[in-house]
Structure 1
């Protein structure tokens, strides 16, 4: 890496830049005012002299005017009113903003103090407008500069104290900036909803956090370009969002404190310090990713696995240091994908070299010895110069750190972007075209001028999979991929594009063998019955391949297939060839629908096999709902549970639908009735293995037993919440799961256990017994906050006479110092009823906030 300007010239340029900036602020002749002789700066070690029409700070006199205003909360109203460009609150100041220009920006000069963007003492709960989150201030101003008149960023604090469910409905955000050229410097921007505000200059201005329960509490959005934060402290926890949304943004020598989903996904972070109290500071990154240069990360939580992103995105770290406890793994993302490529150079953990994401090594590009490193820094005269110019130049030569003349590379790509991330192709089914483009940071194309590095693009297949595809028609940045898989198994691998300088990009590829015709039925197909079991008896011409037919069982009201409702389905490539009869089948005609299939075929035309008569009690034998020891039992692991919506309430059937309970009315959400509410599949995070998951918010299951009077009853449900910290649900916005028994599914009347996210704790949920009466829910017990709603959670609910009880525990090892319950036992005396139904109602958001259902057992003990 070559430096093209000598050190002397560099120092001269810095001096000239200093003179240019000073010229914008300095007036030679100060204007004194006897009215303010008593003014004393809050920080006597870094004083401000206030003269009414001007101020003196740092040895410079600054004349106030339409585009240069001064704010100090210590000025009383009468004195502030005497001067046109002087204010004592941030709200008054921003009401007088005018658009600035690049050469004459709109400057707001803040004296040391605490400036409340939103009144923390008002009891009002704020809400957003037009479907957006609530904001403390919406500011529209071009080339706006917020400048703290201090050397210590702790001395000027722009503050708020609201977050989701804590003084706000929605993710409260301090600022919503609109305009290009925003700059903030020498101050703190903090949402102190879940963090104490300690103000060392004057402790009486400090303030305790609103709540220790961490919730979504944002700092700022910005809509524009060319944004700089210099020597700024950004303080919050969950979803901090420090100036999130700009096309180009530089964080220069800033400090950040946050938990998850918090950082700006396309930022350039230069010499910043980051205190991480969660596991994943980004949700994801965008516009060619986030870049960290000479930054320090300190992990302050107890997580053993740390990552940068929840969902895959590009991250680049150059000369960065990670500080954490021993035996901590640091990866790029929670859910690694074969297409992801991230970059590191000079990275250390606790002082030792460390490769990030070692469990998935293909995700990491180590560029310590690659020409690509010039895109991020160069060594000039023995000094390291970080190439912020190359990163943020854009198409207008923006140079926020003034190093344009010091570096040799100013048009170098930092990402290799492909036209797709995943591709599924079938041998014999045609080819696909892959293309790649070298991009500069921020999603900019290379400039028309010659590039600073060799950007020729090459292609390769992951070693060991070369025979699965043929690469042809090379045309610089594109290639044709033809599948050539002649095995019976689908091959999953990646195809990688790369440049000589070190950029890489990849596509995750799934290549299936050619599709063969579905197998034919051989001989007779029929239903046979023995010992309460129906069997679909069929034979296929499989040519040695495994049978993967889709067999679905239905109950029909007659022998003509009318009113067919699925009661058992095939999953996981395993045909469900048998069906055990139950008392709920009495009076129905059972049908098996067989769609013939093997590993290399699609499903063929279905054959329906249906009983010639209705099921009668003598057919049952030993069944899933069986009379044993005076009880009837229903059990399922949900593997064959039909997830298609079934909205009717019918004795002996599950109602599979969506429902928005009345007690969630204040929270605006809905669901799509044309889409299934439940899905069976593989989980993630805390949800281990496979199980039944909510596909939409409001997912509900209700089991209606055959008609009769029911006495005592118990229900055991084994679940894995996707959330791993014990909070169970996305936020405390009416998000809960109710498990009900002794339940009338027609009138929504009965008893249950409610598990609900609470505003009281960030890593716990509340448990309470409840009564349903016509859909209206009344608590029967006080809520108990507990930390046991985690992976391996077993929920037991039982009714004995007039006694309702619940027991909840988990197999997960729990922290011993939380001060909260690790096992839940609740009981209440209630009025017995003759209902025998059961229900599960989930009102939480889906995806990251689902609860996987693994196993359900319902037991009825004798008649009522």
Structure 2
């Protein structure tokens, strides 16, 4: 029930009279009741007919309400700590409030052990949670009037929060022959473990200069960390904050490897990187160093005419649900305007390279971004992440179309981007757009398409559904990749998932 306050069945109820009624066998649509407002507007000249029907049927057909609105419509409260006050407003059509209307509050009998309702003198309703289970419960509180108006509120009832559990066994680390490292610990509790396990690279066995590289999400402790070439030479530290479904994270315990990670302990293929977006750290991290993701917000020079500044007061990215067209997906999403991500691989020379990912824009009509004010997303490839040199695919909204964007190949020199191809207009940049950017020798190519069905405007051959483009480039030795988004976030963001990078 996403919008429980918007729909009600009116058949056989007094409520229907607000819209239509019968008098002497004639069906009368009650436009006068709906439009009269406070100034007695009667564009259909129905007033006299409606007033006459009132006398004949001995019923009122004016000033009848059409809406019962309950606030808040959705909330959450904790048992033993919080209550929630619900208020109901009865409106005539046009949001004209009717005072002194009796509202009845109720919950289903099956939910009677989860909460109590207390109706106050002013007609509002206090919800008192009594959830004694170990899980969050949902409760629908209904409000209705004698005429048939209905409204409802969806409430999440949290059980009473407990103290975080103590460790019965402190964290220890174990490096396995399959190229993973795991943290092991035990908590004195009967709940499912939801501890926050975070992984850091440190400069010594004391845990100095920690840089967060992986975290736990979705209430799933990140117990096993896959070693990579970026970990070599660093001590790894695991921080464990004990947690379960009925407590906040407790005081953490740390454990650090005694020795730095050796290259012989890394078993994965360093030429292929399936980026674990679910557990990647999205904290602001401005340092550019081999084996590290660099995350910040940045305003490129070619956007400065639109007078905005990038701020790094908050983390630039988040991992989680998108919005609008991306609401059903989970992935890496821009949290702030100017969100930028760069990765610097370990090594001195790289040749052919391939990046593939699925883009899920919040915009669903193919426009990709909120406006055509130099809002774009660049996909870096063969990139010098420190000097900002290399190449990129630019996805940019223009004034040409409201349902398509331009794909343009770019060359970066010292942070300044210059087109090296003609733009290709395409309407495939909508959920889910699969994009492959590849460098082979001296050729940069792009393949983008969308396997979902969507409306294609007829007789518009200049807008393609599949992007196939290429350009000749000057080969370089860099192997960095990344993303730069200059659009607004929220409904203008793009969720990124299924990210994989290959070096050859």
Q: TM-score, normalised by structure 1?
A: 0.54
1:536 pairs with 2:201: no
> Residue 430 of structure 1: SS of its match in structure 2?
coil
Question: For the Cα contact (< 8 Å) 1:393–1:399, is it kept in 2?
Answer: no
Residue 569 of structure 1, CA deviation? 0.7
- Residues in 2 aligned to 1:733 and 1:392: alpha-carbon distance in whole angstroms: 44
1:392 and 1:650, CA in 2 relative to 1: closer, same or farther beyond 3 A?
farther
> Residue 738 of structure 1: SS of its match in structure 2?
strand
Partner of 1:666: 305
Residue 398 of structure 1, CA deviation? 5.2
Partner of 1:839: 482
1:383 and 1:504, CA in 2 relative to 1: closer, same or farther beyond 3 A?
closer
1:824 pairs with 2:467: yes
Question: For the Cα contact (< 8 Å) 2:358–2:496, is it kept in 1?
Answer: yes
Q: Which of 393, 416, 436 matches 2:37? A: 393
- Residues in 2 aligned to 1:695 and 1:525: alpha-carbon distance in whole angstroms: 33
> Residue 17 of structure 2: SS of its match in structure 1?
helix
Partner of 2:28: 384
Partner of 1:742: 382
1:634 pairs with 2:273: yes
- Residues in 2 aligned to 1:418 and 1:724: alpha-carbon distance in whole angstroms: 31
Question: For the Cα contact (< 8 Å) 1:456–1:476, is it kept in 2?
Answer: no
- Residues in 2 aligned to 1:855 and 1:468: alpha-carbon distance in whole angstroms: 41
> Residue 245 of structure 2: SS of its match in structure 1?
coil
Q: Deviations over 1:368-388 (max 9, x none)?
A: 332123334455663625344
Partner of 2:434: 794
1:731 pairs with 2:350: no
Question: For the Cα contact (< 8 Å) 2:165–2:188, is it kept in 1?
Answer: yes
Q: Which of 298, 316, 341 matches 2:5? A: 341
- Residues in 1 aligned to 2:282 and 2:184: alpha-carbon distance in whole angstroms: 25
- Residues in 2 aligned to 1:412 and 1:491: alpha-carbon distance in whole angstroms: 36
Residue 437 of structure 1, CA deviation? 2.6
- Residues in 2 aligned to 1:852 and 1:489: alpha-carbon distance in whole angstroms: 30
Residue 587 of structure 1, CA deviation? 2.2
> Residue 372 of structure 1: SS of its match in structure 2?
helix
Residue 418 of structure 1, CA deviation? 2.6
**Equivalent pairs, count:** 489
1:689 pairs with 2:336: no
- Residues in 1 aligned to 2:473 and 2:241: alpha-carbon distance in whole angstroms: 50
> Residue 642 of structure 1: SS of its match in structure 2?
coil
> Residue 618 of structure 1: SS of its match in structure 2?
helix
> Residue 772 of structure 1: SS of its match in structure 2?
strand
> Residue 305 of structure 2: SS of its match in structure 1?
coil
> Residue 511 of structure 1: SS of its match in structure 2?
strand
Q: Deviations over 1:781-804 (max 9, x none)?
A: 111122222323221112122111
- Residues in 2 aligned to 1:599 and 1:680: alpha-carbon distance in whole angstroms: 20
- Residues in 2 aligned to 1:391 and 1:610: alpha-carbon distance in whole angstroms: 72
Q: Which of 446, 450, 455 matches 2:98? A: 446
Question: For the Cα contact (< 8 Å) 1:533–1:579, is it kept in 2?
Answer: yes
Cα-Cα RMSD: 2.4
- Residues in 1 aligned to 2:361 and 2:500: alpha-carbon distance in whole angstroms: 18
> Residue 604 of structure 1: SS of its match in structure 2?
coil
Partner of 1:497: 143
Q: How does 1:540-551 map to 2 (within 5 A)?
A: 540-543=187-190, 545-551=191-197
Residue 523 of structure 1, CA deviation? 2.7
Partner of 1:412: 64
Q: Deviations over 1:721-767 (max 9, x none)?
A: 22223222223222221111111122221101111223333322211
Question: For the Cα contact (< 8 Å) 1:391–1:440, is it kept in 2?
Answer: no
- Residues in 2 aligned to 1:411 and 1:768: alpha-carbon distance in whole angstroms: 60
Partner of 1:172: none
> Residue 366 of structure 1: SS of its match in structure 2?
coil
- Residues in 1 aligned to 2:146 and 2:213: alpha-carbon distance in whole angstroms: 58
Gaps of 5+ in 2: 51-59
> Residue 15 of structure 2: SS of its match in structure 1?
helix
Question: For the Cα contact (< 8 Å) 1:794–1:810, is it kept in 2?
Answer: yes
Q: Which of 492, 517, 522 matches 2:168? A: 522
- Residues in 2 aligned to 1:553 and 1:724: alpha-carbon distance in whole angstroms: 36
Partner of 2:56: none
> Residue 523 of structure 1: SS of its match in structure 2?
strand
- Residues in 1 aligned to 2:144 and 2:35: alpha-carbon distance in whole angstroms: 20
- Residues in 1 aligned to 2:324 and 2:90: alpha-carbon distance in whole angstroms: 34
Q: Which of 489, 497, 502 matches 1:854? A: 497
- Residues in 1 aligned to 2:383 and 2:109: alpha-carbon distance in whole angstroms: 58
- Residues in 2 aligned to 1:792 and 1:480: alpha-carbon distance in whole angstroms: 44
- Residues in 2 aligned to 1:672 and 1:406: alpha-carbon distance in whole angstroms: 64
> Residue 374 of structure 1: SS of its match in structure 2?
helix
Residue 815 of structure 1, CA deviation? 5.1
- Residues in 2 aligned to 1:584 and 1:711: alpha-carbon distance in whole angstroms: 19
Partner of 1:422: 74
Q: Which of 83, 86, 107 matches 1:434? A: 86
1:669 and 1:495, CA in 2 relative to 1: closer, same or farther beyond 3 A?
farther
1:792 and 1:515, CA in 2 relative to 1: closer, same or farther beyond 3 A?
same
1:759 and 1:445, CA in 2 relative to 1: closer, same or farther beyond 3 A?
same
Residue 400 of structure 1, CA deviation? 5.5
1:758 and 1:463, CA in 2 relative to 1: closer, same or farther beyond 3 A?
farther
> Residue 302 of structure 2: SS of its match in structure 1?
helix
